[in-house]
Structure 1
Amino acid sequence: MNRSIFISLPVTDLKASIAFYEAIGFENNTRFADDIAACLVWSDTISFMLLTHEKWRSFTCRPIPPVTSSEVMLSLSCDSREAVDALCDAATAHGGTVDINPMADHGFMYTRDLTDPDGHALGAMWIDMAAMADQG
């Protein structure tokens, strides 16, 4: 079995969060879903578990941070600069906040940072690995 990661995120509105993550390119794995949790798949090895606050509290008694805080930023690789921009456009249209930090364009790498509707920080990034190797 390949190693994989399931990232659990507390969300206030499960349906809105599902719509947000589907809009930015995740696939809803309904086999792992009910009224209080959903599994959104980014790749064969990366999935986000969206959990209502009630469900989240069954995992931990640690407080849910306010939407204005950041504990971690999860960067999502995209196939092109245009795909980064398309992801950000979709995020904006579905309740996210885009460009929470200045865009970064290093020629071989292009990144934009955003938040989902609950304030979870995400990065959209494209890297030209061939050009990066030339940076050596």
Structure 2
Amino acid sequence: MAFKTKNIFINLFVKDVSKSTHFFKELGFEHNPQFSDETTTCVIISDNIFAMIMNEEKFKGFTKK
């Protein structure tokens, strides 16, 4: 039986994307520049798990609640 690989993206709201990116880099995590910009950093947790750290404005765009 073949398993389909799924990716997990955890969206986290932070006050300062730059400081948070630095924090994760200091812990040894890398980021994916393809999914990163001044409002968001994609932190690579494992091959299929990513933390999307983003500013409040960008985070609010993911839900109407």
- With structure 1 as the length reference, what TM-score do the two structures score? 0.43
Q: Which amino acid aligns with 1:42?
A: I
Quote the offset at 1:61 in angstroms. Answer: 3.9
Of 14, 20, 27, which aligns to 1:17?
20
Quote the offset at 1:44 in angstroms. Answer: 0.3
Structure 2 unmatched runs, 5+: none
Q: Aligned ranges for residues 1-136 of structure 1 at < 5 Å?
A: 1-62=4-65
Q: How many residues align?
A: 62
In proportion to residue count, which structure has more strand?
1
- With structure 2 as the length reference, what TM-score do the two structures score? 0.86
Q: Considering only CA atoms, is the larger Rg found in Structure 1 or Structure 2?
A: 1
Percent sequence identity is 37
The structure with higher relative contact order (CA 8 Å, sep 6+) is 2
Q: Which amino acid aligns with 1:33?
A: S
State the distance in 2 between where 1:13 and 1:43 align. Answer: 23
The aligned residue for residue 122 of structure 1 is none
CA RMSD between the two structures? 1.2
1:25 and 1:42 in contact (8 A); partners too? no
